[in-house]
Structure 1
Amino acid sequence: MFEDILPEPASLAEADDAALVAAISGWARAESAAAARRLAAVGELVARRTRGTDAVNRSRWSCDYWDAAASEVAAAEQISHGMASSQMYLASALRERLPRVAALFLDGAINSRVVATIVWRTALITDPYLLDAVDTELAAIATGLGPLSAAKTAAAIDALIDRYDPEAIRRQERDARGREIVVDTRNGENGTTALWGRLFSTDAAALDRRLTQLAHTVCDDDPRTLAQRRADALGALAAGADSLACACGNTDCPTSGGTDARAANVTVYVLAEQAALDTATDPGFGNGDQPPPAPAPKTQARPARAGAIIGGGTVPAPLLAQLINGGATVKPLRHPEGLPAEPHYRPSVALAAFVRARDLTCRFPGCDRPASYCDVDHAIAYPFGPTHPANLRCLCRKHHLLKTFWTGPGGWHDIQHPDGTVEWTSPTGHTYTTRPGSRLLFPMLCMPSGAPPATTSPALPTAVRGLMMPTRKRTRIQGRVHRINAERALNKAPP
């Protein structure tokens, strides 16, 4: 609806400054309107998937109707199950609780940040009449919330809620209950991973002091800066070490303690080529304030490829060599090409290791759950399908349950190829193709490993299959109502 009034990228070079600023503003509004339409479609899908006796009968399933809908949203947008579930909650709240705010969003008058803040801050309002009044007033002031900071936006919304329903304000207890540590393995860069979170202030002070103490347990020749040693100390702390391994490389180092605790005390699966294992150790790699080395001559051989952590992130070859030198265990991974199928349901340790190394993550569309935490699933159920790499793939527990119980007519089904490629077909007939995570990093692992016998397992009736599904103590709706009532009770209690 904005295409006719906003300049296309090809014509921006001829536009004046005022037109460029107008284009930025206009396309930001178009972006908000597009996001609102996407959420409106998500909300309609959720409404359809949660209606009817089938949804009621499966409401206590561990993988319930909400998870089934989230799998469709996640596959359509190529996002994780958790992100899809968050979008569904946001979409349902706009559709069912805040129609006037939703209308502003559809017009592009407010952005996604403001909408998400409104939905979150109003989640504890349970009286429909009060909610309608708050929705009306929020729609009147929402367009003025955009320029405010996140904190000021939340404060303005809370002030409005306080006039109607004081027990529905998100208070300080929520900040304490919302503490967490996030290790962002999905967005690692050059062998490093971002880390952030929120702790109790006492715990944060203790952690800060402990990192500083560990950072000073090395000798004076250690090439790392204090900031680098504090960062490495967190890894040593996670490995249960009482000191930080020195990186000076001196044979007579007074603080040398033998093996590196990070290499010997914690199991982290890293997939690497032999060339990376043969790389010479370099204690100065990534340490100190020295400038980067000069560019290598063009005739020099390609440096060893970094190792890939099964679960996300990479390990540069020099650091991998240091960890191996410090005591890390090396196990060769054998490609099972030409090997016969194993004569039992549970794959051997070697076969399961190969499948996890080949896939790296859950193989459902959009899911990036590390293979280390996934089940090794038979594409064609055993014994109708063999225990063979062409018939095995990694699925997280949620998507394993989905593939097992939300199948048959009107459900999900898939076809796996000998190279590990999986073609998924959703309940609506849309198809999604996922390929092993090692395909670009270690293509040798994705060589066809033979084809399993062409057969299919007989479909069990839904009622019979559902008896084997793990169940919840409360339905999802009951759990949400319980959490809201508990938080309102805390707000009502005297200080």
Structure 2
Amino acid sequence: MFDLIDLPDSEALAEADESALIAAIGGWAQAEAVAAAHRLAAIAELVGRKLYDDPTHSKWACDGWDSVAAQVSAACDISHGKASGQMYLASALRERLPKVAALFAAGQLNAALVSTISWHTTLIQDRRALAAVDTALAADALHYGPLSAFKTAQAIDAVIEAHDPEALRRSRETARSRDLVVDKRNTDHATTPLWGRLHAHDAEALDRRLMAMAHSVCDDDPRTIAQRRADALGALAAGGQSLVCGCGNEDCPGTQDRPASSVLIHVVANAESMGTGVDAHRNGEEPPPPPIDRRNPFAPIERPAEPDPPPKAPPALLLGGPLIPAPMLAELIAAGARIKRVRHPGPDSAPEPRYRPSTALDEFLRCRDMTCRWPGCDRPAELCDLDHAIAYGLGGPTHPSNLRCLCRKHHLLKTFHGWRDRQHTDGTIDWLSPTGQTYTTHPGSRLLFPALCEPTGRLPAPTDRQPDSACRTLMMPTRRRTRAQNRAQAIIAERALNTRPPPS
């Protein structure tokens, strides 16, 4: 039997036999499940305590659920959205699936399976049906381990269909799933996957338009048809009507049509990165593999080195997004990207005389912070508010040492839900939660562009915050329906989709 106390340390692992290693792997997987169950149980307890204290705030745009999610996200170092998902899962295990939760707490089920069960049972409304499904799944789930994710989902749905057929999440597989996904979370090497579902006629029109644009350039364009189609979609997104030719010939008419766009993206780069040339080998086919040695067909094949390797230079950074290699930055500049220098205000900069910062200070702050400065939040800075650390009405100056980027959600949380903070001259912020935990965040530019994080001047110590007046909460935006009402309505609507006959 596996025992955590007897587990070999890192120095003794090399001496352990394979049986002991397998036992350690299985044991720690079980311990990981137990730890996750305890974490979710603590989250569920916090949710249960906080969300029913003051129901009058349930229609706030930043409600009690957001307040709890902010503390969970900071404690777990995850985003606000992921923290909210953990809260839904924790509440479901505590209130809806107690038998599944008991197996989870004993380490007999893993976190991925428990999460799948919770998701598939969300639409069950009848408490007796839910209890029956919980009992059946607790008996069956111990045998789900070797199954694939797809087969596991099928097995769970079979149990649900036996007790509440209208609770199956069939609507995701219907034509109503029309969507277009730009998967920015899986960006790799400055390329982002894109997929979706369109009306058939729209898909046909898009396919023909991309193909026509791909064939509109001259024969000297080095890109393959697939690469041209991808670039054509980018040209359409930028407001262009044609694809710019990549041949580089001055007399080619296709090199003159640069699309004028109302879409604006910001890329932050060092000066040395903007001096590199365009990589001529980013387009076209892969170089052919070397021929196989017929006298020794099993000899390792060495691929030839890439001709003219791209120049080495620090990468640029899409504001709040992925890295942009220097050769790709050169392509953007060659395509007409506007270059604007961001100036550091300096260590002795004076405060500005008004509440709203100047354009130059606004650009510096967004480039310094990159994203929202709340713990775990990665919302791009260009979509954030500029917040005064010391309130402007309490004497806080409009100064880079007193300003930072906060998304609207976390701006409201900071203002109305009891968080306090202290901002340092290099942009570092120490956050103090309502329960006394401290979390520190640093500007997003600290690693790649450290010059933007140089101190900007020390400010006077903040004055004590004045007590909130009874009318202060009137400034909180409100929603028409509570979060619970929206969730209940979504469940009713999705269940209704399963009662309609399928389209003929």
Most deviating of 20-29 and 64-73: 20-29
Question: Which of the residues 365, 368, 381 maps onto 1:371?
Answer: 381
Q: Give the Å deviation of 1:108.
A: 2.0
Q: Give the Å deviation of 1:185.
A: 3.8
Could you list the per-position Cα deviations for residues 456-481 of structure 1 after superposition, in whole angstroms to 9, with x for gaps in the alignment? 36434263221110001111111111
1:287-298 superposed matches below 5 A: 288-290=285-287, 291-293=305-307
8 Å CA contact 1:378–1:391 kept in 2: the answer is yes
Question: Which of the residues 419, 429, 437 maps onto 1:422?
Answer: 429
- Opposite residue 56 of structure 2, the aligned amino acid is N
- When normalised by structure 2's length, the TM-score is 0.88
Secondary structure of the structure 1 residue equivalent to 2:421: strand
Most deviating of 385-394 and 180-189: 180-189
1:71-86 superposed matches below 5 A: 71-86=70-85
Task: State the match for 2:193 in structure 1.
Answer: 195
8 Å CA contact 2:374–2:441 kept in 1: the answer is yes
Task: State the match for 2:497 in structure 1.
Answer: 490
Most deviating of 69-78 and 104-113: 104-113
Q: Give the Å deviation of 1:388.
A: 0.5
CA–CA separation in structure 2 for the residues paired with 1:198 and 1:5: 51
CA–CA separation in structure 1 for the residues paired with 2:87 and 2:15: 41
Task: State the match for 1:456 in structure 2.
Answer: 463
CA–CA separation in structure 1 for the residues paired with 2:228 and 2:29: 43
CA–CA separation in structure 2 for the residues paired with 1:416 and 1:275: 31
Aligned residue-pair number: 481
Give me the identity figure in percent: 58
Secondary structure of the structure 1 residue equivalent to 2:193: strand
- Is 1:386 the equivalent of 2:397? yes
Task: State the match for 1:242 in structure 2.
Answer: 241
Task: State the match for 1:299 in structure 2.
Answer: none
CA–CA separation in structure 1 for the residues paired with 2:21 and 2:221: 52
CA–CA separation in structure 1 for the residues paired with 2:241 and 2:327: 24
8 Å CA contact 2:426–2:453 kept in 1: the answer is yes
Q: Give the Å deviation of 1:254.
A: 5.1
Q: Give the Å deviation of 1:286.
A: 5.6
Task: State the match for 2:103 in structure 1.
Answer: 104
8 Å CA contact 1:363–1:435 kept in 2: the answer is yes
Could you list the per-position Cα deviations for residues 299-335 of structure 1 after superposition, in whole angstroms to 9, with x for gaps in the alignment? xxx9332211112112222222222222111111111
Task: State the match for 1:316 in structure 2.
Answer: 325
CA–CA separation in structure 1 for the residues paired with 2:143 and 2:195: 30
- Opposite residue 334 of structure 2, the aligned amino acid is N
- Opposite residue 274 of structure 2, the aligned amino acid is L
Could you list the per-position Cα deviations for residues 171-229 of structure 1 after superposition, in whole angstroms to 9, with x for gaps in the alignment? 13565555544444455444x14324432462555545544443333322222333333
Could you list the per-position Cα deviations for residues 155-181 of structure 1 after superposition, in whole angstroms to 9, with x for gaps in the alignment? 211211112112211113565555544
CA–CA separation in structure 1 for the residues paired with 2:268 and 2:184: 15
- Is 1:32 the equivalent of 2:39? no
Secondary structure of the structure 2 residue equivalent to 1:4: helix
Secondary structure of the structure 2 residue equivalent to 1:481: helix
Could you list the per-position Cα deviations for residues 398-434 of structure 1 after superposition, in whole angstroms to 9, with x for gaps in the alignment? 0000011112xxxx10001111110001112110111
8 Å CA contact 2:51–2:65 kept in 1: the answer is yes
- Is 1:274 the equivalent of 2:281? no
Q: Give the Å deviation of 1:375.
A: 0.3
1:94-493 superposed matches below 5 A: 94-172=93-171, 176-177=175-176, 179-186=178-185, 188-190=187-189, 192-200=190-198, 202=200, 206-253=205-252, 255-259=254-258, 261=259, 266-285=263-282, 288-290=285-287, 291-293=305-307, 303-337=312-346, 338-383=348-393, 384-407=395-418, 412-456=419-463, 458-461=465-468, 463-493=470-500
CA–CA separation in structure 2 for the residues paired with 1:153 and 1:458: 54
CA–CA separation in structure 2 for the residues paired with 1:119 and 1:462: 42
8 Å CA contact 1:377–1:392 kept in 2: the answer is yes
8 Å CA contact 1:63–1:402 kept in 2: the answer is yes
Task: State the match for 2:292 in structure 1.
Answer: none
8 Å CA contact 1:264–1:328 kept in 2: the answer is no
1:27/1:171 Cα in 2 relative to 1: closer, same or farther (>3 Å)?
same
Task: State the match for 1:88 in structure 2.
Answer: 87
Structure 1 alignment gaps of length 5 or more: 297-301
- When normalised by structure 1's length, the TM-score is 0.90
Could you list the per-position Cα deviations for residues 376-417 of structure 1 after superposition, in whole angstroms to 9, with x for gaps in the alignment? 11111113100110000000000000011112xxxx100011
- Is 1:50 the equivalent of 2:51? yes
Secondary structure of the structure 2 residue equivalent to 1:483: helix
Q: Give the Å deviation of 1:368.
A: 0.4
CA–CA separation in structure 2 for the residues paired with 1:27 and 1:71: 29
Could you list the per-position Cα deviations for residues 19-43 of structure 1 after superposition, in whole angstroms to 9, with x for gaps in the alignment? 4444333333332222222212211
Task: State the match for 2:301 in structure 1.
Answer: none
8 Å CA contact 1:6–1:26 kept in 2: the answer is no
- Opposite residue 453 of structure 1, the aligned amino acid is P
8 Å CA contact 1:2–1:30 kept in 2: the answer is no
Task: State the match for 2:14 in structure 1.
Answer: 13
8 Å CA contact 1:222–1:248 kept in 2: the answer is yes
Most deviating of 196-205 and 485-494: 196-205
CA–CA separation in structure 2 for the residues paired with 1:359 and 1:3: 42
Most deviating of 444-453 and 317-326: 317-326
CA–CA separation in structure 1 for the residues paired with 2:6 and 2:194: 42
Could you list the per-position Cα deviations for residues 222-277 of structure 1 after superposition, in whole angstroms to 9, with x for gaps in the alignment? 22333333332332231132332222222233532333x3x855311111122222
1:197/1:87 Cα in 2 relative to 1: closer, same or farther (>3 Å)?
farther
Secondary structure of the structure 1 residue equivalent to 2:255: coil
1:318/1:172 Cα in 2 relative to 1: closer, same or farther (>3 Å)?
same
8 Å CA contact 2:171–2:497 kept in 1: the answer is no
Most deviating of 470-479 and 268-277: 268-277
Secondary structure of the structure 1 residue equivalent to 2:86: helix
CA–CA separation in structure 1 for the residues paired with 2:470 and 2:255: 63
8 Å CA contact 1:247–1:283 kept in 2: the answer is no
Cα RMSD, aligned residues only:
2.4
CA–CA separation in structure 2 for the residues paired with 1:125 and 1:256: 59
1:137/1:6 Cα in 2 relative to 1: closer, same or farther (>3 Å)?
farther
1:104/1:59 Cα in 2 relative to 1: closer, same or farther (>3 Å)?
same
Q: Give the Å deviation of 1:62.
A: 0.5
8 Å CA contact 1:258–1:326 kept in 2: the answer is no
CA–CA separation in structure 2 for the residues paired with 1:89 and 1:333: 43
8 Å CA contact 2:239–2:261 kept in 1: the answer is no
8 Å CA contact 2:183–2:193 kept in 1: the answer is yes
- Opposite residue 277 of structure 1, the aligned amino acid is M
